[in-house]
Amino acid sequence: MLAGATLLPAGAVLAAAPVGVPIVTGLPDFTDLIDKAGPAVVNIRTTEKVKLGQGAPGDEEMQEFLRRFFGQPTPRSPSPRGRRGGQPQEEEVQRGVGSGFIISNDGYVLTNAHVVEGADEVLVTLTDRREFKAKVLGADKRSDVAVLKVEASNLPFLRTGDSSKIRVGEWVIAIGSPFNLENSVSAGIISAKARDTGDYLPLIQTDVAVNPGNSGGPLINMRGEVVGINSQIATLSGGYNGISFAVPIDEAIRVADQLRKTGKVSRGRLGVQIGEVSKDVAESLGLGKARGAEVSLVEPGGPADKAGIRVGDIILKFNGNAIERSADLPRQVGGTPIGSRATVTVWRKGVQQDLPVTIAALEEEKAAPKPTPKKPKADAAPNALGLHVSDLTEAQRKELKTDAVLVDASEGAAARGGVLPGDLVLQINNTDVKDSKQFNAIVAKLDPRKSVALLVRRSSPQGAATTFYLVIRPRQ
């Protein structure tokens, strides 16, 4: 027997020792980090000119909360003063509070776009009580990034890190002005690296305490580098609930560079609306696993339309890069130079195709027309799916630029599957719908034991149209 060896009973199994797993021996000390980073974090107050007849805004923190998380305008209280002399007078009143941080010693400041949105004046206050009027060089709503400039020199500033290298579980701190409590510090860890809460960028999720007023402040790693801009919270109460989100600093700097140069951000546009591909839809279309981006609307005359991309296509790749989730597509297209050519790989009716497309500049979305459903006749029976449908008029076809049938009523399997009156049905099981006669004929021949995939377009009350697949299942 070897010296030092241990005898084990017959049949005993040795448990493998964990390899390379670090053991946490204590909590981090943030004091030196905060001493160095704190002076570069600023408090941002905004003011606006209002007519005295409109009254003054409500409390600052609730204003910012309503604007950011509910999209509501600044609340107003009635004021009799504005009626003096019959002419309403203007008064400059405080509008909201937020945070920001200095990124250069000559006075460039990063914050959130929503912090300075609609402001007539922006005031930046440093920890040494110096206050400056700031000029808004530009703000980008899509990424929620804004760049300010104050006229000063030799200012303290923060270094930016590499947000692509952050790790889940890594310690981070937030410094800002929650509820106007300036230079307040909270700490936590990175909970997730790429949450799909925005169209054009994945956000960093943390459990760092962030509240109204923290917006625009830095998320800082243990090396003193900014890795994100605190931007949003997930909350039911208006306060911190353990989930906060930050704009990755890599994306924020790319946006800031464009804002500093031109005052706006240019992004590529494909000219489609897209949605997620569910497991049921993937199986119904013969795609296998759920992946890609489902094309729900093609902008007439846009880049995708000219390239031959159609509603119902599943975009699997962009320039050879796989599209695993629908959110991957706008980020890749948005970062593509305007006017450049790209290749879009689509799945259409069981076949994969490569389509060349020329990228255009992103524009604002336009409201879509919304046909009004008709009331079915009292003695009319629904088809086998439970749908009453009617034809579009020739004028509606031209306006909508599509063939489809209008859902007048939905019951039974269709209602359970989520089809609503007013929906347009564009395809059924990969077959384009031309009119109600053809649609009902297809439905009559369906196997009642199998699920059916309908491509449906639906308009919101605001006029925005989205197209998506609904899977209608037979009752088991």
Binding-site residue ranges for substrate: 114, 144, 213-215
Distance of CA 384 to the CA centre of its chain: 38
CA angle 215, 156, 211 (to 5 degrees): 15
Q: How far apart are CA 435 and CA 439, in angstroms?
A: 6
Cβ–Cβ contacts within 10 Å for residue 177, how many? 27
Name beta bridge partners: 459: 465
The CA-based angle 143-149-152, given to 5 degrees, is 150
Question: How far is 99 from 163, CA to CA, in rounded Å?
Answer: 20
SS3 40: helix
H/E segment holding residue 62: helix 60-65
Beta bridge partners of 456: 425, 468
Per-position DSSP letters for 130-195, written without gaps between them:
-EEEEEEEEEETTTTEEEEE-S-SS---PEE--GGG--TT-EEEEEE-GGG-TTEEEEEEEEEEEE
CB–CB of 358/301 below 8 Å? no
State the catalytic residue, choosing from 143, 177, 186, 215. Answer: 215
Per-position b or e across 13-40, b if 16+ CB within 10 A of its CB: eeeeeeeeeeeeeeeeeeeebbeebebb
CA separation for the pair 214, 244 (Å, rounded): 10
Phi/psi of residue 70, each to 5°? -125, -5
Token pair belonging to 144: 């929620």
Q: One of 99, 114, 140, 296 is an active-site residue; which one?
A: 114
Closest by Cα among 90, 96, 97 to 49? 90
Angle at 64 between CA 60 and CA 66, to 5 degrees: 115
Label residue 362 left, alpha or beta by phi (over 0 means left) and psi (-120 to 50 means alpha). Answer: beta
Which are the contacts of 278, defined by CB distance < 8 A and separation ≥ 6? 290, 469, 471
Does the annotation count 144 as an active-site position? Answer: yes
236 closest CA partner among 456, 65, 83: 65
| Bridge partners, 204 (sequence order) | 246
- Per DSSP, the three-state class of 68 is helix
- Spatial CB neighbours of 250, under 8 Å, sequence gap ≥ 6: 162, 163, 164
Is there a catalytic annotation at residue 354?
no
Q: Are the beta carbons of 353 and 346 closer than 8 angstroms?
A: yes
Of the residues 144, 328, 408, 423, only one is catalytic, namely 144
* 388 part of the active site: no
The catalytic site residues sit at 114, 144, 215
